[in-house]
Structure 1
Amino acid sequence: MSTLLQSDANFGFATSEAGKPVGCYNTGHIRAKFRRIHRAGKRSRRREFHMKAILKVPCRKALAVLAASVALASFSAPFSASAVFAQDAAPGTEKAAATTAAASAEKDDPSKVLATINGKDITVGEVDQAAGDLDPQFARLPVEQRRLAALAALIDIKAMAGEAEKDKLDQTKEFKDRMEFLRERALHNEYFKNAIVDKISDADVRARYDKEIAAMPPQVEVRARHILVKTKEEAEAIIKKLEGGAKFEDLAKASSTDGTASSGGDLGYFSEGQMVPEFEKAAFALKPGEYTKEPVQTQFGYHVIQLEDRRTKQPPAYDQVKDQIRSIIMRERYIETVKKLRDGLKIDYKDPAIEKAMKDAAAAQEASGKDDASEDDAPQE
């Protein structure tokens, strides 16, 4: 992994130089947002480990592990199923999956009863709801396996819930307070869906695309290799070797301290604003086939850069970015709606320090068009 990128590959659909999802940014910066959508795809491909969404362990065992883990996760820390999902399916997985094909055939009938517990029905609709609410890891499973894992988790949860009712744990103040919070959060999510998400039309998305993306000028991108070393003297010695006919790729593999050394220093294509300024300026000044005659110093050390190619990239097609655009509109409208509703509330802060902090945060949100708290609170589509 190269050290040159200005931001980490920690994003939903694109990030700014500060590493924030661009969906939080105000409308005035939308052109920059969608330029970063291009770069985000390339950046993630270089940085992500691609995990296959199939089970490594036999299907029944994996489902049991996942169900138990999710049931525990609802009580304690967030669950990570990385040990369950990896590599190729083990022998027997395909056979086990085939035996559950009948379950997936009923996925469109929410009233279908899958099991009963002490005479109470568990339906397809209830299981599918649980699969969506319990843990995002369920989304990685095929439909039939996801349903079985959710059913197993639901049975475990109902079993313990029944015992809790016998012990009258549902009558405690702590439980009632928790239920009231969950009720309000569920209402919050329903209002978000009804008042915001469902009212974003395809025409809204298309209009934003036509105004902000289709009108964007083509972007110039370059593809470069580089060799990163600690001292200027090392970089100068590498340049002399290049002048003597040495291959850039071979020198990068032998000498570079950057994560791209194994690929001959290849950084792939990038556009303006993606790399640190000193590196970017030197790279864009070169012609294809040329390399820097003097070392380029950045915060990471000294670089020797070779330009491989230069191309012009057109704005993305509508189908490529429509989901990102919808997410941006969704977050913008969420922030606007929350601000309007907050303004109608009579809020009395008992601590002056808290009152000042909240007012400062509200002012910053209005000025910048983004709010970290709103990003966390806004439900996802």
Structure 2
Amino acid sequence: MTRTRKVLIQLATGLLLSTAATGAYAQDAAAKTEAAKPAEKADPAKVLATVNGVKLTQGEVDQASSDLDPQFSRLPDDQRRLAALAALVDIKVLAAAAKGDKLDESADFKQRIEFLKDRALHNEYFQTAIVDKISDEEVRGRYDKEIAAMPAKNEVRARHILVKTEDEAKAIIKKLEGGAKFEDLAKESSTDGSASQGGDLGYFGEGMMVPEFEKAAFALEVGGYTKEPVKSQFGYHIIKLEDKRQQQPPAFDEVKDQVRSILIREKYIEMVKKLRDGSKITYEDEAVAKAMKEAADAQDAAAKTAE
């Protein structure tokens, strides 16, 4: 079973999708791209301000806007642009002061600039070589493939009445045998939050309820109810089975962003491995070299297991 299929199954049973560290690159890139989109295209060459003779253009402001604190993304476009312009003016005046003190000439600063440049190039290449090239059709194709390969599983819709003691539960079962309506008894006697809905728990699959409850619910025929109280850590249950059907997969629109993130993560790992394999990399420290090799082997093994 592939990693994506496992994720889709988890989503189908209401669990949250876990995103690996490499997948965060994709989500961050997508979020920044979306947040930075202006309502309408402005001329990037338009000059918005001049600081000490240096012109600040619309293009520079738009670039700064994409790098602002995520909180700024909630602002309307005009306010975000003004915030970006103000931030850019501050950056320019402080940068000029730093150059006046020759801070840009230190070895530490030059080393940091090289790192920032490499990191920016890393992100740009990642965006253009992977993120921008994944189409909606590719995401849909991956979704369809994984859904088709998912094993068929049943899910049930059940109601229950939860009480504190076995005697209370047995008394309720007698009332059911006498013709009382399950929903009415649930509203009247159940201590569970579903009481106001007549004990309706909706549909659930295997592994979503405590074992005792699940076993009893799946063993019932549609329309039937448990003739003996079912004890769990929460108390005593009387369970009625409303329906049984094949488990429904999550809708495409519900999981398309997660599927896209999985594709991006897989392509990122594949791209990095290919580029590493094609590069000459040496580690001067033997312990470091051993640790890096073990990490790479572990990553390869994890990738094969996920297939």
Distance 1:141 1:357, change over 3 A: same
TM-score normalised by structure 2 residue count: 0.68
Q: Which residue of 2 aligns with 1:121?
A: 55
Amino acid at match of 1:31: R
* 1:202 shift after superposition: 4.3
Structure 2: 5+ residue stretches without partners: 17-37, 176-183
Q: Which residue of 1 aligns with 2:261?
A: 327
Q: Is the 8 A contact 1:107 1:124 kept in 2?
A: no
Partner of 1:145, secondary structure, is: helix
Where do 4+ consecutive residues of structure 1 move more than 6 Å?
A: 225-229, 261-266
Q: Counterparts of 2:161 and 2:149 in 1: how far apart (Å)?
A: 37
Q: State which of 26, 31, 36 in structure 1 corresponds to 2:5.
A: 31
- Write the deviation string for residues 223-260 of structure 1: whole angstroms up to 9, x where unpaired: 5567889xxxx4535524643658435555xx56xxx5
Q: Which residue of 2 aligns with 1:248?
A: 186
Q: Is the 8 A contact 1:292 1:304 kept in 2?
A: no
Distance 1:141 1:105, change over 3 A: closer
Q: Counterparts of 1:216 and 1:152 in 2: how far apart (Å)?
A: 52
- Write the deviation string for residues 166-190 of structure 1: whole angstroms up to 9, x where unpaired: 2332233332222222111111112
* 1:348 shift after superposition: 1.3
Q: State which of 110, 129, 134 in structure 2 corresponds to 1:200.
A: 134
Q: Counterparts of 2:291 and 2:272 in 1: how far apart (Å)?
A: 18
Amino acid at match of 2:88: L
Q: Counterparts of 2:56 and 2:240 in 1: how far apart (Å)?
A: 62
* 1:338 shift after superposition: 1.4
Amino acid at match of 1:335: I
* 1:210 shift after superposition: 3.2
Q: Counterparts of 2:82 and 2:295 in 1: how far apart (Å)?
A: 45
Distance 1:116 1:307, change over 3 A: farther
* 1:194 shift after superposition: 2.8
Partner of 2:43, secondary structure, is: coil
* 1:206 shift after superposition: 3.8
- Write the deviation string for residues 259-303 of structure 1: whole angstroms up to 9, x where unpaired: x589778755433344455554344334467468434446xx556
Structure 1: 5+ residue stretches without partners: 1-26, 45-103, 372-381
- Write the deviation string for residues 334-380 of structure 1: whole angstroms up to 9, x where unpaired: 1112122233442315252x444433332222122299xxxxxxxxx
Distance 1:29 1:277, change over 3 A: farther
Q: Which residue of 2 aligns with 1:347?
A: 282
Q: State which of 304, 316, 319 in structure 1 corresponds to 2:237.
A: 304
- Write the deviation string for residues 187-221 of structure 1: whole angstroms up to 9, x where unpaired: 11122123222333444334323322255466544
Aligned: 1:188 with 2:122: yes
Aligned: 1:209 with 2:143: yes
Aligned residue runs from structure 1 range 166-315, under 5 A: 166-214=100-148, 216=150, 220-223=154-157, 234-236=164-166, 238-240=168-170, 242-243=172-173, 247-249=185-187, 251-252=189-190, 255=191, 268-275=202-209, 277-286=211-220, 287=222, 290=225, 293-297=228-232, 302=235, 304=237, 306=239, 309-310=242-243, 312=246, 314-315=248-249
- Write the deviation string for residues 82-103 of structure 1: whole angstroms up to 9, x where unpaired: xxxxxxxxxxxxxxxxxxxxxx
Q: How many pairs align? A: 272
Q: Which residue of 2 aligns with 1:365?
A: 299
Amino acid at match of 2:128: N
Q: Counterparts of 1:316 and 1:297 in 2: how far apart (Å)?
A: 29
Partner of 2:2, secondary structure, is: helix
* 1:331 shift after superposition: 0.9
Q: Counterparts of 2:41 and 2:227 in 1: how far apart (Å)?
A: 60
Partner of 1:213, secondary structure, is: helix
Distance 1:174 1:210, change over 3 A: same
* 1:35 shift after superposition: 2.3
* 1:333 shift after superposition: 1.1
* Identity of matched residues, %: 55
Amino acid at match of 2:75: L
Distance 1:225 1:341, change over 3 A: farther
Root-mean-square deviation (CA, aligned residues, Å) is 3.9
Q: Is the 8 A contact 1:283 1:305 kept in 2?
A: no
Q: Counterparts of 1:285 and 1:175 in 2: how far apart (Å)?
A: 69
